[in-house]
Amino acid sequence: MQNFMGLSGYVWWQGVVEDRQDPLELGRARVRILGFHTEEKTKIPTDSLPWAYPAMPLDSTPGSIPNFKEGTWVMGFFRDGESAQEPIMTHMIDAGYVTQNNSHKGFSDPETNSFKPEKPTGTEPVLGEVNTTKLARGITDNTLRDDSNITRVYPYNHVSESESGHLVEFNDTPGSESISVTHRSGTYSEVDQDGDMTVKVVGNNLEIVGKDKYINIDEDMNVTVGGNVVSTVTGGRTEKSGSLEINSDDEISITSEGAVTITAPTVFVNGNLAVDGIVTAGDGTIITGSHVRTGSMSVTSALPTSQIPVLTGPLGILGVPAPMPGILNNIPFGILASGINVPTEALSDGASLLSENLVALRQLETSLQTAEEELDKWNDLESEIGSRLGALELKYGIE
């Protein structure tokens, strides 16, 4: 029992990782250890170094591997004591200055691993500088966050930087408390000291939601799109707003396989209105014409202009007065029907009068039909009287 680990004392060591390509994929590394291995690789080459096992922290994820690379200084102990053949890695003590690698000597990155990540161009460490991450030292120049205006002060910005350059920051600098996650491409998500969030995507942005999605915005929302917008909705779509304004520098086209309904007290068109079809009034009245436009209105009638009646007063000749004289007198039926342009004000007034007195027009139409029937009766009576007078003239020889 005297040789049991811990009873005979620990044998601590310090060394440099020279190979992390563990064939068993257990997170092991070949470490050249000071005092136990020579600097000369001709005596002890890298592939002759023993594999050192990692001792992971208790809060690490089971199955995860340590985050080190070739050239990293680590420390640990020998599990087999003075035999020094079973090294265990416990810590990294890699803080220091960036030095030049020497592939011919030990205690350095041998640079034999050609398939390893590299940081984006311009963000690599500089020889002679400390190897603490620049952002942790409050430096943003030549980093992926050189566009950030958030203050970072050492030692309050806690940065985790991956080997290829991904960044995670927990910034506790007083007055600049922030969190950011940055991809090596430059895409990032950042929450600043006020809780404002900025997301920048340098490539495409794809979002997939398996069920419902709700977005609540207490104040304004602004969306700027440099290209086209395509929205595909398989179900219905409803938009509710206090007001709606659509501005377009080009045509606006609405295509529907069904009817398009606009429900509003008044619809204004400030410009030309082209209708390729039939315009139907609310009561079913059909207005046909070649064109309708704001500023003036023309409707082409099926009747010649000479046959279009102009209602200018009581129909005294038939004994049938207009139902609402003084109002109908002002409606330019003949002008509208003949295709003559009408000023906007007159068109608006005429449209209002037509709408308000539609019932009166129907009554007038009924009165005209009644008068036409009366005229037919008078014509029949006139014919009968003429026939009888002719018979009497013949019978009594009246000349």
The domain locations on the chain are 1-116, 135-200, 275-364
Decide: 325 and 314 in contact? Cβ < 8 Å: yes
The angle, 0 to 180 degrees and rounded to 10, between the axes of the packed helices 344-356 and 358-396 is 70
Mean pLDDT of 382-390: 83
Preceding omega of 57 cis (within 30 degrees of 0): no
Two domains, one topology: 1-116 and 135-200: no
Residue corresponding to tokens 């594999």: 51
Q: Amino acid letter at 83?
A: S
Total number of residues shown for the chain: 399
- pTM (global) more than 0.75: no
Decide: 130 and 100 in contact? Cβ < 8 Å: no
pLDDT at 101 over 70: yes
- What's the sign of the alpha-carbon dihedral 178, 61, 21, 109? positive
User: Which tens digits make up the pLDDT trace of 254-289?
Assistant: 998 898 888 889 988 888 888 887 777 766 666 654
User: Which tens digits make up the pLDDT trace of 25-51?
Assistant: 999 999 999 999 999 999 999 999 999
- The CATH number of domain 135-200 is 1.10.150.120: no
Residue 390: the pLDDT is 80
Residue 283: the pLDDT is 65
- C-alpha distances (whole Å) from 216 to each of 209, 221, 240 are 16, 10, 14
pLDDT band, residue 369 (cuts 50/70/90): confident
User: Which tens digits make up the pLDDT trace of 174-219?
Assistant: 999 999 999 999 999 999 999 999 999 999 999 999 999 999 999 9
List CB contacts of 96: < 8 A, sequence separation 6 or more.
73, 130, 131
CATH number assigned to the domain with residue range 1-116, chosen from the 4 options 2.40.50.260, 3.40.50.10540, 1.20.1070.10, 3.30.1180.20: 2.40.50.260
DSSP 149: -
Residue 269: the pLDDT is 87
